[in-house]
Amino acid sequence: MATTDLSVYDKGTIPNSKNFRFGIVVSEWNRDITQGLFQGAFDTFLDCGVLKENIVRWDVPGSFELIYGCKKMQQSYDMLDAVIAIGSVIQGQTKHFDFVCDGVTQGIKDLNVQSDIPVIFCVLTDNTMQQAIDRSGGQHGNKGVEAAVAAIKMAQLRKDATF
């Protein structure tokens, strides 16, 4: 189990983000967790120089719907430099957890293969609610922070790779 604080990053290694535009698609399921992840990503964007008006948020009902939400966001905002998919799936007593986690993972992978706008995977797949709390602003920091940093770096990669 990772014990690293996900909220620690070195601003010196982060590209200038002032002109980047980001989308964030947030699952409403496990809202306390996903709101914490969103807040971590949003605050990190602002801390790294992203303008507030350059951040678009859409909500979707659950983690499985993140795929469609991200796809439609890519299509609706062609000026976005990256999109973050934020969700939280917590193990229950049925195989539903496995199907949702696999579907979301594969769906977001497919979006990255099919589109020029990177989609960052920020979906917690935890065994317990406490694990999700610990990774969405608790003792292990905030995975949303890590996702925002990854989005900035991927936006820069996308910009550098454009001829």
| CB contact at 8 A, 132 and 29 | no
The CA distance from 158 to 21, in Å, is: 12
DSSP H helical segments within 27-142, as ranges? 31-47, 66-76, 96-114, 129-135
CA dist list (Å): 39 to 19, 90, 163: 20, 20, 34
Catalytic annotation, residues: 96
The CA distance from 107 to 55, in Å, is: 23
Q: Count other C-beta atoms under 10 Å from residue 88's C-beta.
A: 29
The residue behind tokens 């973050």 is 84
